[in-house]
Each structure stands twice: as structure tokens, then as C-alpha cells.
């Protein structure tokens, strides 16, 4: 019995050390990220917004982010858990495609960027691709009476390149893009 207790104790100590080393490694790695592993809080018009949580923009004058399976409720982060072979899911995506094409009639014959019609795993993804933002430029230019060239340049300015030029895709934070969009006409 004494051998079992001492073996269990040694294993516990070894696992504790490994877990602490892993946590230290993750923390040290996070310090190389732009936000150092912390959330980015943006204060705009006397309100606080979290840049790392998707926001709902209902107005046609704003860029739209990814759909959310949890209606952008950060307390209930979740995906839909339905796969690409699920008939109900396919109908939902098709409805989103139809709605998006109706809201952006000039883009009716252009392929819809996938992130504009599919929810992320968390339901709270704050980013879309540059293509997803550019897909919406014609509608917003028309709604706001801004040139498409000016909006395309704004999307380019707001596009975050991959970390160190290698890790991850280029992306556009929809909240930051919409705030920059509001700042254009001031």
C-alpha cells in the first residue's frame, strides 16, 4: 500500500509541474500577441465595447459580421452543432445566402464569402475576411453616399495581416471597421 501512495504522490507532483510549465508557456506566448492575451476594450460614444466579441449591427449602413448561433450573447457562447450534411442547417445557410443577396443586390452574381452565412464555433467571432467586408462595400456606399473607392481603402486600412506575416489569415474586425466608418463623415 505504501508503494501505491508514494507512486501516486510522485505522479501528482510530476503532473502539477507539467501543468504549471504548460500554463507558463501559454502565458509567455500570449505576451507576443498584440493585446498581450487580454481583451481589447474600445470606448466609443460613452459606451464600452469588447473588440474580441462579435457585435450585432442591424442597420444597412454598417458592415455585418458573422451570424451568431447565440444571438451575440457572450454569456452563452456556443455553435449550432449542426454539420454540413444536416438538412436543417443547409436550409438555414441558404436562407442567409438569400437574405444577403437581397440586401446586396449588386452582388447577386458574386460568390458569397462563407463567413457571412455561417456562424463560428463560439457564435461570437468578431472578425470577417477582407473579402467578406469588400462584398458589402457597394451596399454601404449607396446607403451612406460614400464612394466605393473610399470604402475599399477603409477596409484595406482596417485589415489586420497575419501575425508575423505567417500565422492565421488576414481579417477585419467588424466593430473597429464600423467605428472607423462612422468617423469618416465627421
- Residues 22, 65, single domain; the answer is no
- Residues 158, 66, single domain; the answer is yes
Asked whether residue 164 carries a pLDDT value surpassing 90, the answer given is: no
Q: Give the CA-trace dihedral at 136, 138, 139, 143, to 10 degrees.
A: 130
Which range of residues forms the domain containing residue 14? Answer: 1-32
Residue 157 confidence (pLDDT) = 93
Please identify which residue in the block is written with the cell numbers 442567409.
Answer: 96
- Residues 162, 82, single domain; the answer is yes
Q: CA-to-CA distance for 175 and 68, rounded, in angstroms? A: 15
pLDDT band at residue 16 under the 50/70/90 scheme:
very high
- Residues 45, 71, single domain; the answer is yes
- Residues 112, 62, single domain; the answer is yes
Q: CA-to-CA distance for 39 and 25, rounded, in angstroms? A: 19
- Average pLDDT value for residue range 41-69: 86
Of 42, 76, 70, which Cα lies nearest the Cα of 56?
Answer: 70
pTM of full prediction above 0.85: no
Amino acid at each position: 500500500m505504501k508503494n501505491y501512495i508514494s507512486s501516486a504522490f510522485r505522479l501528482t507532483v510530476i503532473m502539477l509541474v507539467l501543468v504549471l510549465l504548460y500554463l507558463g508557456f501559454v502565458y509567455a506566448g500570449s505576451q507576443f500577441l498584440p493585446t498581450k492575451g487580454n481583451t481589447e476594450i474600445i470606448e466609443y460614444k460613452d459606451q464600452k465595447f469588447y473588440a474580441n466579441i462579435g457585435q450585432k449591427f442591424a442597420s444597412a449602413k454598417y458592415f455585418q459580421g458573422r451570424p451568431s448561433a447565440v444571438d451575440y450573447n457572450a454569456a452563452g457562447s456556443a455553435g449550432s452543432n449542426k454539420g454540413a450534411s444536416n438538412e436543417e442547417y443547409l436550409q438555414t445557410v441558404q436562407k442567409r445566402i438569400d437574405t444577403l443577396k437581397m440586401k446586396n443586390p449588386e452582388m447577386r452574381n458574386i460568390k458569397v464569402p462563407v463567413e457571412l452565412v455561417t456562424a463560428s464555433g463560439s457564435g461570437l467571432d468578431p472578425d470577417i475576411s477582407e473579402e467578406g467586408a469588400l462584398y458589402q462595400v457597394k451596399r454601404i456606399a449607396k446607403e451612406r453616399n460614400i464612394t466605393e473607392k473610399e470604402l475599399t481603402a477603409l477596409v484595406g486600412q482596417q485589415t489586420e495581416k497575419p501575425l508575423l506575416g505567417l500565422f492565421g489569415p488576414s481579417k477585419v474586425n467588424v466593430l473597429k471597421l464600423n467605428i472607423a466608418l462612422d468617423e469618416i463623415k465627421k
